[in-house]
């Protein structure tokens, strides 16, 4: 057996947000290695722990992998006590294998499951026991599968359940089956761990940052820096206390949100109904839902009746959704492909009906529990967020190593000096290590988050909430932003614009008001083909369907309590639609809905089954995208000019839906009829046009983003011509720019894949394209590509060489299914784009989570559907977020540079004074670090963002030439300034050299120390001014009033300390009193000159003076694939090849290095 293995995940036909989705769970492609404890190694490590003064345990805490390698030996996974897991992001985790004894023979109750698959037989006290081997990782339970030789998520038990299998569970589980499943699946609980204060304190103190702080405090105490060590200790204790309080508060809040236990009713195999705790629910339990609904504690498939569900907690969508019964079919059940039949954990069931024999309540079967539910996966994504691969954070870690190298050089220099001065061994060690605490600032990690914290507070005040603060900085680097259309760029509600009936003879005249339609199938279809429901007498449902239904003037009536209605032949009725009184006596009377198949984004349609009074005239009505409905209708019933008519209305920006119907045999069993049988051989009825107005803010925001060189893309499920019209209306496509339609066809038994670029409606060639064929760039035209979901799928499958080029120029993606939106975001990220996504949070959840910056427009304060949630119901939050992200990123850069320069200033001061056999005094260190640096670092990040978006984005690399060049130049100026101050001091007539026979602290106060302290104090303030950036991404410095006031105050304090300090203050700070006023003024003049040189150097660097150095190495191409590809396309005037049909073998390939 192999010693390593992989965690096997269930394969699904469609991309889904199950545990196999790497966006939600990094364990999708985990590598697992097994280890067993080695007793002699364990005892050896226990012996070495006290001998190393706990250092070994500290190393084990920081590097768990090392602790496993030293205490264990590798072994087969089936025999492992400990597992070392490496997730898809390269991070390693250590988990313990748990075992649970099972009753012999209990596995046979699990139906067809193999007996050897789930157990491990071991010899224990000479008795054969059956053990369940499993481990817990990020809340999920993984069980050992002997047949697969791997640990698999326990959800694999139910991954092959078909819809028919689920219907078989309506009879309920036996008591023995329930007990067995509870032991295997574990409790149905989303339990967020809330650690005790002692454990949190232990973990926080062992953080490398605080370990470094503790060692530094001990070092300073040994060096007699009591005041400084005491202040840092107090600040550290306060910082730890605040951090522990916030961590525990957040954990408690999340636990209260996630943890939910209630009593539910289940059905057993004996037919009895029992009230049990939701903790005991297992997949396969038959759940009885009361008529008044409940807050669902698990994921379940709805098998009987209908439920009105509020899913706002998961999707951010406030409109209730109608869920219908799952058809009994042989296909495998998938919660994502069957969303309209699935009840998700954490959602509020408002009402249930038609599921039981008396017509009340509903019946469902549990499909997932605990962290395997939809709510559990989203809670897990908060607890264990995806690592942010951002260059700024990577460079910060590298720069710390660079500072550590400088510290090493300073340590060597100080050792040489101290040996030369014949210092004691204690002083030698203390002084050498003191250099490390100076060069590597322990407050650097905290300083880097200051800008993000300020930005998060400003966003919250403006109604934008963030659950992932590191993404604020990332939003400053977004290069392309994708927008959903309906409800995002356009208004949520639609108004009926008109109806056109159609048939073999063509389309009728446009009827603006559906009430004027003659009674018949078209009017009945408009009145009943929807999922609108009544709640306390008020109709609720999708805004589009609500408008369509209300436009007919018909009324909705709920059936009797038992659902059986004698008026309609004793069929079980879901809803009754009654026409206005004047139509009741004649043709087109009341219609009862007896079956319903809700809208599916994948199928692009919905359907209902209706009967007339007396149970006669049964019919199926289908509503959906015109292309889909027309493909399901008999060809002879579709008007000849269908495509041109649809294109005309879509090009005008109208939302177009088509309706079809099919007469049914009244004796059909409508409760078990399959959807596929209903939705074939339809008769085409006509088109419904709805006007969807663009929000007034959309055009302004899109124009703002385009001026800022931010690419904008529309991703919608609507018709491609409608989407192009909206793109033109909101400014994504300019009035003088062309739209080229991309049509790709997949492989079929009768044809090969093809690809075509056309100025037509997606396929037809046009005669007016000669000027374009001369070359788009040469002719001076701008152009945009438009592609639909079907062509996008064909491009991905058959034309991967062309896909990057199409993505580079496509602005409109239409008829995109939810999983295709997610795939599009990932494909753009492969081109090295930083992708933003803005949507309404319903069908866009996957794309919102996949994007680098996802913004959900929702009334919820903190939706888990995306990192950012905006209460503003338009896209005006997008430029706001980008401006705040750029401001935060610039602030983080400024603070990083300031903290680095602060360390270098103090490093230079200490080395210069070491050379003179002295050092800064205790309170001088304290004054510099707390009064000057800390106050400035806290306040300098308060500056807000610029009011406009600049075309350039702020840099994200700390190792770029301008940053490193700036630090080098400023360091040279700092060293020169301090050396000049020292030389000026030693050249004075009153100067008396230090007594070399006395230790440094006995030489206080002395002129060398005082002059270096004076100039370094000014330098801390000067650098705060120099590195604080304003234009173009932040407000000017003078707009940060508190920072400006603090600068003036500190400049005044330092000038006072140099020119005329009080004797008491000089005594406390160990300052040397100089009576020569000219010398004092000379020090201030040196500081002023230092400021001028540093400020001018920074201005020149900002203007690009250092760019001349790049000319020496030659121009290097960008490493970003989209920039390389853009250059190639710009130099290819013959692309795209218009009106040519390409096959995969003809497609040219662009190779990128």
Q: Of 946, 890, 524, nearest to 704 (Cα)? A: 946
Check residue 1117 and report its DSSP letter: P
Give the DSSP per-residue string, 713-767.
EEE-SS-HHHHHHHHHHTTSS-TT-EEEEEEEE--BTTB--EEEEESSSSS---S
From the list 1018, 1020, 1023, 1003, the residue with the least C-alpha distance to 913 is 1003
Q: Which two tokens stand for residue 826?
A: 């990932």
Question: Tokens 């009340």 — which residue?
Answer: 360
Burial call 765-790: b when 16+ CB within 10 Å, e when fewer:
eeeebeebeeebeeeeeebbbbbbbb
Tokens matching residue 297: 């504690």
Cα 49 to Cα 38: distance, rounded to the nearest angstrom: 17
Task: Report yes or no: 511 and 687 within 8 Å, Cβ to Cβ.
Answer: no
DSSP state letters, 834-846: -EEEEE-SSTTHH
Rounded to an integer, what distance in angstroms lies between the CA atom of residue 487 and that of residue 655?
13
565 and 354 Cβ atoms separated by less than 8 Å: no
Closest by CA position to 1043, among listed 891, 925, 924: 891
Please state, in angstroms and rounded to a whole number, the distance separating the CA atoms of residues 968 and 962: 10
Closest CA to 1148 of 1130, 1123, 1128, 1121: 1128
Q: Report how far residue 104's alpha carbon sits from residue 87's, in angstroms, rounded to the nearest whole number.
A: 35
Question: Are the C-beta atoms of residues 1077 and 1059 closer than 8 Å to each other?
Answer: yes
The CA–CA distances, whole Å, from 237 to 215, 233, 586, 922, 930 equal 14, 6, 83, 20, 16
Strand partners, 47: none
* 788 bridge partner residues: 814
287, 366 contact by CB (below 8 A): yes
| Rounded distance between C-alpha atoms, residue 731 and residue 709, angstroms | 14
Q: What are the start-end ranges of the E strands in 858-895?
A: 868-870
Task: For residue 546, count other CB atoms closer than 10 A to its CB.
Answer: 18
Cα–Cα distance list, 979 to 41, 359, 912, 917, 982 (Å):
56, 92, 8, 15, 5
d(CA 779, CA 781): 6
Q: Say if CB 531 and CB 541 are below 8 A apart.
A: yes
The residues, any chain, with a CB within 8 Å of residue 121's CB and separated by 6 or more, are 128, 129, 130, 131
The two tokens of residue 67 are 């602790």
Structure tokens at 851: 């994007």
For residue 163, give the nearest of 624, 575, 672 by alpha carbon.
672
Distance CA 852, CA 829 (A): 9
Cα(917)–Cα(919) distance, integer angstroms: 7
Residue 869 structure tokens = 């949630």
- Active site residues per annotation: 484
Residue 475's nearest CA partner among 898, 954, 29, 6 is: 954
Helix, strand or coil for residue 173?
Answer: strand
User: What six digits make up the tokens of 212?
Assistant: 């470094």
Beta bridge partners, 486, equal 490
What whole-number distance in Å separates Cα of residue 1153 and Cα of residue 1151?
7
Tokens linked to 999: 């230790």
């Amino acid at each position: 057996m192999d010693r390593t293995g992989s965690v096997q995940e269930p394969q699904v036909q469609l991309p889904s947000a199950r545990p196999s989705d790497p966006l939600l769970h990094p364990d999708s492609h985990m590598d697992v290695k097994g280890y067993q404890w080695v007793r002699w190694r364990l005892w050896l490590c226990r012996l070495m722990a006290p001998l190393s003064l706990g250092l070994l345990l500290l190393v084990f805490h920081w590097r768990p992998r090392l602790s496993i390698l030293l205490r264990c030996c590798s072994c087969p996974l089936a025999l492992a006590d400990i597992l070392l897991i490496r997730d898809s992001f390269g991070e390693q985790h250590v988990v313990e294998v748990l075992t649970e004894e099972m009753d012999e023979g209990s596995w046979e109750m699990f139906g067809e499951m193999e007996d050897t698959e789930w157990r491990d037989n071991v010899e224990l006290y000479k008795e054969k026991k059956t053990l369940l081997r499993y481990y817990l990782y990020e809340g999920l339970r993984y069980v050992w599968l002997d047949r697969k030789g791997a640990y698999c998520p326990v959800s694999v038990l139910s991954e092959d359940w078909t819809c028919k299998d689920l219907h078989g569970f309506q009879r309920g589980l036996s008591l023995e089956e329930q007990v067995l499943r509870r032991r295997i699946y574990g409790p149905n609980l989303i339990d967020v761990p809330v650690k005790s204060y002692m454990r949190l304190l232990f973990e926080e103190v062992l953080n490398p940052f605080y370990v470094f702080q503790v060692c530094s405090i001990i070092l300073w105490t040994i060096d007699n820096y009591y005041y400084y060590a005491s202040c840092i200790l107090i600040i550290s204790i306060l910082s730890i206390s605040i951090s522990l309080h916030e961590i525990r508060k957040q954990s408690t809040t999340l636990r209260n949100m996630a943890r939910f236990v209630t009593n539910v009713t289940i059905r057993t195999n004996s037919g009895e109904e029992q009230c049990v705790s939701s903790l005991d629910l297992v997949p396969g339990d038959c759940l009885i839902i009361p008529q008044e609904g409940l807050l669902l504690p698990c994921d379940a498939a709805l098998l009987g009746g209908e439920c009105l569900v509020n899913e706002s907690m998961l999707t951010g969508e406030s409109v209730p959704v109608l869920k219908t019964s799952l058809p009994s079919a042989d296909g495998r059940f998938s919660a994502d492909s069957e969303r309209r039949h699935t009840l998700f954990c954490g959602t509020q069931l408002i009402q249930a009906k038609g599921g039981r024999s008396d017509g009340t309540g509903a019946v469902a079967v549990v499909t997932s529990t605990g962290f395997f539910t939809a709510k559990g996966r989203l809670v897990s994504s908060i607890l264990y967020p995806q690592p942010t691969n951002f260059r700024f954070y990577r460079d910060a870690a590298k720069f710390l190593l660079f500072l550590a190298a400088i510290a090493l050089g300073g340590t060597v220099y100080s050792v040489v000096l101290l040996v030369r001065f014949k210092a004691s061994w204690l002083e030698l060690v203390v002084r050498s290590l003191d250099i490390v605490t100076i060069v590597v600032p322990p407050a650097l990690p905290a300083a880097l988050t200051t800008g993000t914290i300020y930005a998060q507070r400003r966003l919250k005040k403006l109604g934008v909430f963030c659950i992932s603060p590191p993404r604020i900085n990332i939003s400053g680097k977004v290069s392309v932003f994708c927008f959903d259309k309906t409800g995002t760029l356009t208004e949520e509600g639609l108004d009926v614009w008109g109806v056109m009936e159609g048939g073999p003879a063509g389309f009728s005249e446009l009827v603006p008001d559906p009430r004027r339609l003659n009674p018949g199938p078209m009017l009945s279809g408009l009145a009943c083909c929807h999922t609108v429901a009544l709640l306390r007498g008020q109709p609720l449902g999708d805004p589009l369907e609500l408008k369509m239904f209300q436009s007919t003037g018909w009324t909705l009536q709920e059936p009797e309590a038992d659902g059986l209605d004698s008026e309609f032949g004793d069929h079980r009725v879901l809803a009754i639609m009654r026409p206005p009184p004047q139509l009741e006596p004649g043709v087109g009377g009341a219609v009862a809905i007896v079956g319903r198949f809700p809208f599916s984004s994948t199928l692009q349609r919905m359907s209902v089954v209706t009967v007339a009074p007396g149970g006669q005239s049964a019919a199926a009505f289908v509503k959906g995208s015109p292309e889909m409905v027309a493909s399901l209708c008999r060809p002879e019933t579709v008007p000849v000019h269908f495509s041109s008519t649809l294109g005309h209305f879509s090009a005008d920006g109208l939302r177009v839906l088509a309706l079809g119907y099919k007469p049914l045999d009244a004796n059909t069993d409508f409760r078990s009829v399959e959807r596929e049988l209903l939705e074939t051989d339809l008769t085409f009825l006509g088109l419904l046009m709805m006007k969807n107005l663009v929000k007034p803010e959309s055009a302004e925001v899109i124009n703002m983003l385009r001026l800022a060189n931010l690419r904008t893309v529309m991703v919608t499920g609507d018709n491609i011509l409608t989407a192009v019209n909206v793109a033109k209306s909101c400014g994504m496509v300019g009035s003088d720019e062309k739209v080229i339609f991309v049509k790709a066809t997949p492989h079929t038994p009768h044809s090969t894949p093809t690809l075509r670029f056309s100025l037509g409606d997606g396929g037809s060639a046009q005669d007016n394209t000669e000027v374009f064929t001369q070359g788009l760039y040469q002719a001076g035209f701008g152009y945009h590509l438009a592609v639909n979901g079907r062509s996008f799928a064909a491009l991905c499958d058959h034309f991967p060489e062309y896909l990057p080029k199409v993505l580079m120029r496509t602005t409109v993606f239409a008829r995109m299914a939810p999983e295709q939106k997610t795939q599009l975001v990932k494909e753009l990220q492969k081109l090295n784009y930083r992708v933003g996504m803005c949507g309404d949070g319903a069908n866009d959840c996957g794309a919102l989570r996949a994007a680098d910056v996802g913004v959900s427009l929702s009334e919820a304060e903190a939706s888990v559907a995306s990192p950012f949630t905006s209460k503003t119901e338009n896209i005006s939050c997008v430029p706001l977020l980008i401006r705040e992200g750029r401001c935060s990123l610039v602030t983080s850069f400024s603070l990083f540079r300031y903290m680095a320069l602060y360390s270098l200033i103090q490093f230079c001061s200490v080395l210069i004074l070491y050379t003179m056999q002295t050092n800064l005094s205790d309170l001088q260190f304290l004054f510099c670090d707390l009064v000057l640096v800390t106050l400035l670092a806290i306040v300098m990040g308060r500056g807000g963002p610029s009011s406009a978006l600049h075309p350039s984005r702020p840099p994200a690399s700390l190792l770029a030439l301008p940053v490193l060049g700036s630090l080098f130049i400023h360091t040279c100026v700092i060293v020169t300034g301090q050396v000049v101050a020292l030389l000026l001091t030693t050249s004075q007539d009153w100067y008396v050299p230090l007594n070399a026979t006395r230790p440094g602290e006995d030489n206080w106060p002395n002129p060398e120390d005082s002059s270096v302290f004076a100039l370094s104090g000014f330098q801390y303030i000067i650098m705060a001014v120099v590195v604080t950036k304003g234009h173009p991404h932040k407000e000017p410095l003078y707009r940060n009033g508190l920072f400006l006031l603090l600068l003036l105050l500190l400049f005044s304090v330092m000038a006072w300390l140099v020119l005329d300090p009080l004797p008491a203050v000089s005594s406390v700070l160990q300052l040397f009193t100089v009576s020569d006023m000219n010398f004092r003024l000379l020090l201030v003049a040196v500081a002023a000159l230092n400021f001028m040189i540093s400020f001018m150097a920074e201005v020149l660097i900002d203007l690009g003076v250092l760019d001349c150095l790049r000319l020496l190495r030659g121009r290097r191409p960008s490493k970003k694939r989209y920039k390389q590809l853009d250059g190639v396309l710009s130099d290819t005037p013959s692309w795209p090849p218009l009106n040519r049909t390409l096959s995969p073998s003809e497609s040219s390939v662009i190779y990128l290095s």
